[in-house]
Amino acid sequence: MASRQELANAIRALSMDAVQKANSGHPGAPMGMAEIGEVLWNNHMNHNPSNPDWANRDRFILSNGHGSMLIYSLLHLTGYDLPMSEIQSFRQLHSKCAGHPEYGYAPGVETTTGPLGQGISNAVGFAMAEKLLANQFNKPGHDIVDHYTYVFMGDGCLMEGVSHETCALAGTWGLGKLIAFWDDNGISIDGHIEGWYTDDTAGRFESYGWHVVRGVDGHDFEAIDKAIQEAKSVSDKPTLICCKTIIGKGSPNKSGSHDCHGAALGEEEVALTRKELGWEHDPFVIPQDIYDGWNQKDKGQQSEAAWNDKFAAYEKEFPELAAEFKRRMANELPADWQQKVDALIKETNAAGDKVATRKASQNVITKLAETLPEFVGGSADLTGSNLTSCGSFEHVSGKKPGNYISYGVREFGMAAIMNGMALHGGILPYGGTFHMFTDYMRNGMRMSALMKQRVIYVLTHDSIGQGEDGPTHQPIETTSGLRFIPNMEVWRPGDATETAVAWTQAVANTSNPTSLVLTRQGVGFNERTDEQLEGIKKGGYVLCDCDDYKVILIATGSELDLAMKSCEALKAEGIASRVVSMPCTHAFDRQDQAYKDSVLTPGVKRVSIEAGVTDYWTKYVGLDGASVGINTYGESAPGGKLFEHFGFTVENVVKTVKSVL
Ligand SMILES: Cc1ncc(C[n+]2csc(CCOP(=O)(O)OP(=O)(O)O)c2C)c(N)n1
Ligand SMILES: [Mg+2]
């Protein structure tokens, strides 16, 4: 039987050999965390390599994603469908073993990591999801939602600001099933960290309300095991286990130095490391006794089977809840979803409310919350401004669970947490902030898009219409900036009905995040025909038409009203125009050419109107069209005055139209 040390050394060998073969990658972290990996995965992780989707598995997140060979080694060795051929093609095109762990590539990778600080923050989201679902579904004697979330992270994750945002909130929530391991190796890319990282990390986490296990020797199997047991015994606080480790342990000349952080060790050093470890096997050769020591397939099957029995008993007593749990974990919408949506849109179209689109959004949230128990709403401390809550929500407070989250002033943390919740499954997260602060959370939004997660961003106060707070609070380039993120659906609805369609499209789109860009100020209302209601879903459609139009006005959001008024004014001057509303350019772009041509008639001059930068619109108006927009920062003044000041007036639109005809 292989010894534990040999099991851990298998991680070292696979990691250094794969990085050597690719001549690219990060051997230091996997070699430094090999013992911690062995203890956690062999003694504690409750998972089933044959079914990576088992709903109640423990989640494992490698927040220091550069150490990707660590997770690939663990998945391969414990029996996931990740054959050696994939490890041999580490970092090559089409390999499941991508440079950093990518969600959807290798089975068992729960989230994409690499942008430091976000993995731990996703993990907080996973643990929050577990807590909220347990609150919704568990019954006395039936703990069907009951799993841990384990995270490995390095110094880099801890330096990143987002880890401060999310770990603080994790402490406040008392996430007892979140257990994080700090790879305390004193090294980051620039070298020994004492010149730039001197935080009292243990003290910091204690101040957040975490349980901290200090000073664990990260190469001592017994000590690591004891620390994990201690962590599990604390059920009302997350735990940080501080593991002193040596980066690249096993490499005689490069361990303990940043030299092994992110480069192959080199053939010679690899050979010396083999000697040092007493690892006599060729690259990518793992002896059977070592595979046997790692194999978790039988244990995993048994664990899942035991849970299946538990679930069957639950199902017998609570058939409706059990069905609901299955539906939600499968990301399916309720059976009456379409019927509810159709009714909601019809009602909104009939009601004709002239309200700010943020208010229209709240009206939709209020309705959808009745239909979608998976909704977990929230805001980064702007609930009353974003209008993201409604009467039926139970607000989370401290350790008390619910389904509405005050994230505090932590936009980036909110995005990363929502990604974790969406990835966990069973929850549909949405969160609000001022549109301007999109930039604070932008990489989290990009990660939602990269991982194709249904996360809904409610971005209010969307332009100079924001008004008196001035240019720091007035997004100019932000909406178009979001449009450039692949997979990110961006909706800027123009009135209550478009807002209802935008929201319902966002919910129905289970494989994309959506940004809802909404006004602070009141907007008008346009009643629509059934055909126009369908048109909204297509992202762009004809709202107002006439014979023989000479120009097409394309508008979004609050500028739809201006387009309609300008159309009237142009008519008075004998210029026939068509108004196209374009709440979602992405949806419009997906339509077939015939539809697009039926809306944006080829050969007819076009003018776009949007209170944002104009470059994006060139693609629709062409070089012979024009755009009414704003390419400077805003100013402090009432919103209405600013629209006038920056040329969002009927006169200016008419003038612009004349300039292209
Ligand atoms: C947000 C972000 N910034 C920068 C990087 C580039 N980077 C990758 S690893 C690393 C150093 C991380 O240090 P540590 O977490 O201590 O890793 P170790 O060297 O100990 O493995 C940096 C700066 C990154 N991946 N993500
Ligand atoms: Mg480090």
Structure-token pair, residue 607:
């003018």
**How many angstroms separate the alpha carbon of residue 49 from the centre of ligand 1?**
29
Instruction: Give yes or no for a contact between 629 and 608, defined as CB atoms under 8 angstroms apart.
Output: yes
Structure-token pair, residue 336:
């009456």
**Residue in 86, 165, 304, 411 annotated catalytic:** 411
Best mutation site among 26, 116, 151 for ligand 1, i.e. most ligand atoms within 8 A of its Cβ?
Answer: 116
Structure-token pair, residue 591:
């339509």
Residues in the chain, pLDDT under 70: none
**Is residue 247 in contact with ligand 1, taking CB distance under 6 Å?**
yes
Instruction: Please give the number of the atom of ligand 1 that sits closest to the Cα of 64.
Output: 15
DSSP conformation class of 41: I
Q: Tell me what pLDDT residue 612 has.
A: 98
Q: What angle do CA 232, 238, 240 make, to 5 degrees?
A: 85
Instruction: Give yes or no for a contact between 375 and 385, defined as CB atoms under 8 angstroms apart.
Output: no
**Is residue 70 in contact with ligand 1, taking CB distance under 6 Å?**
no
**Is residue 27 in contact with ligand 1, taking CB distance under 6 Å?**
no
**Is residue 514 in contact with ligand 1, taking CB distance under 6 Å?**
no
Instruction: Please give the number of the atom of ligand 1 that sits closest to the Cα of 193.
Output: 16
**Is residue 66 in contact with ligand 1, taking CB distance under 6 Å?**
yes
- Ligand 1 atom 16, closest CA: 155
172, amino acid identity: T
Best mutation site among 31, 165, 189 for ligand 1, i.e. most ligand atoms within 8 A of its Cβ?
Answer: 189
DSSP string computed for 498-518: HHHHHHHHHHH-TTS-EEEE-
Q: Tell me what pLDDT residue 528 has.
A: 97
In degrees and rounded to multiples of 5, residue 94 shows phi and psi of 75, 0
**Can you tell me the distance from the alpha carbon of 638 to that of 133, in angstroms, rounded to the nearest whole number?**
44
**How many angstroms separate the alpha carbon of residue 181 from the centre of ligand 1?**
16
Task: Please report where in the chains the tokens 């909706």 appear, as a residue.
Answer: 491
**Can you tell me the distance from the alpha carbon of 543 to that of 560, in angstroms, rounded to the nearest whole number?**
9
**Is residue 28 in contact with ligand 1, taking CB distance under 6 Å?**
yes
**How, if at all, do strands 191-192 and 187-188 pair?**
antiparallel
DSSP string computed for 81-121: S--HHHHHTTTSTT-SS-SS--TTTSTT--S---STTHHHH
Q: Tell me what pLDDT residue 90 has.
A: 98
Instruction: Please give the number of the atom of ligand 1 that sits closest to the Cα of 154.
Output: 15
**Is residue 187 in contact with ligand 1, taking CB distance under 6 Å?**
yes
**Is residue 432 in contact with ligand 1, taking CB distance under 6 Å?**
no
Alpha helices in 282-441 (DSSP H): 288-294, 297-317, 319-329, 337-351, 357-371, 383-386, 411-424
**Is residue 190 in contact with ligand 1, taking CB distance under 6 Å?**
no
Instruction: Please give the number of the atom of ligand 1 that sits closest to the Cα of 118.
Output: 1
Ligand in closest contact with the CA of 258: 1
Alpha helices in 89-220 (DSSP H): 118-137, 155-159, 161-173, 201-208
**Can you tell me the distance from the alpha carbon of 111 to that of 106, in angstroms, rounded to the nearest whole number?**
10
Contacts of 476 (CB under 8 A, 6+ apart): 463, 464, 612, 613, 630, 631, 632, 633, 634
The H-or-E segment that residue 181 falls in is strand 178-184
**Can you tell me the distance from the alpha carbon of 305 to that of 44, in angstroms, rounded to the nearest whole number?**
17
pLDDT in tens, 113-141: 999 999 999 999 999 999 999 999 999 99
For this structure, is 527 an active site residue? no
Structure-token pair, residue 184:
């305390």
Distance (Å) of CA 257 to CA 64, 222, 245? 17, 26, 12
**Is residue 116 in contact with ligand 1, taking CB distance under 6 Å?**
yes
Q: Hey, is 563 helix, strand or coil?
A: helix
**How many angstroms separate the alpha carbon of residue 22 from the centre of ligand 2?**
22
**Can you tell me the distance from the alpha carbon of 146 to that of 425, in angstroms, rounded to the nearest whole number?**
14
- Ligand 1 atom 21, closest CA: 29
Instruction: Please give the number of the atom of ligand 1 that sits closest to the Cα of 160.
Output: 1
Q: Tell me what pLDDT residue 571 has.
A: 97
DSSP string computed for 569-602: HHHHTT--EEEEE-S-HHHHHTS-HHHHHHHS-T
Instruction: Give yes or no for a contact between 380 and 431, defined as CB atoms under 8 angstroms apart.
Output: yes
Q: Tell me what pLDDT residue 69 has.
A: 98
Best mutation site among 31, 33, 63, 64 for ligand 1, i.e. most ligand atoms within 8 A of its Cβ?
Answer: 64
Q: Tell me what pLDDT residue 640 has.
A: 96
Q: Tell me what pLDDT residue 399 has.
A: 98
**How many angstroms separate the alpha carbon of residue 68 from the centre of ligand 1?**
12
Best mutation site among 33, 160, 188, 441 for ligand 1, i.e. most ligand atoms within 8 A of its Cβ?
Answer: 188
Instruction: Please give the number of the atom of ligand 1 that sits closest to the Cα of 153.
Output: 15
- Ligand 1 atom 19, closest CA: 188
The H-or-E segment that residue 594 falls in is helix 593-599
Ligand in closest contact with the CA of 69: 1
**Can you tell me the distance from the alpha carbon of 492 to that of 627, in angstroms, rounded to the nearest whole number?**
17
Q: What angle do CA 476, 479, 480 make, to 5 degrees?
A: 95
Structure-token pair, residue 241:
């286990």
Instruction: Give yes or no for a contact between 630 and 611, defined as CB atoms under 8 angstroms apart.
Output: yes
**How many angstroms separate the alpha carbon of residue 231 from the centre of ligand 1?**
26
Say how many C-beta atoms besides its own lie within 10 A of residue 384's C-beta. Answer: 9
Half-sphere exposure of 369 (CA within 13 A, CB side): 19
**Can you tell me the distance from the alpha carbon of 431 to that of 386, in angstroms, rounded to the nearest whole number?**
9
Q: Tell me what pLDDT residue 261 has.
A: 97
Q: Tell me what pLDDT residue 410 has.
A: 98
Half-sphere exposure of 490 (CA within 13 A, CB side): 24
Instruction: Give yes or no for a contact between 104 and 396, defined as CB atoms under 8 angstroms apart.
Output: no
- Ligand 1 atom 13, closest CA: 188
Q: Tell me what pLDDT residue 45 has.
A: 98
**How many angstroms separate the alpha carbon of residue 352 from the centre of ligand 2?**
58
Q: Tell me what pLDDT residue 73 has.
A: 98
Q: Hey, is 469 helix, strand or coil?
A: coil
Instruction: Please give the number of the atom of ligand 1 that sits closest to the Cα of 117.
Output: 1
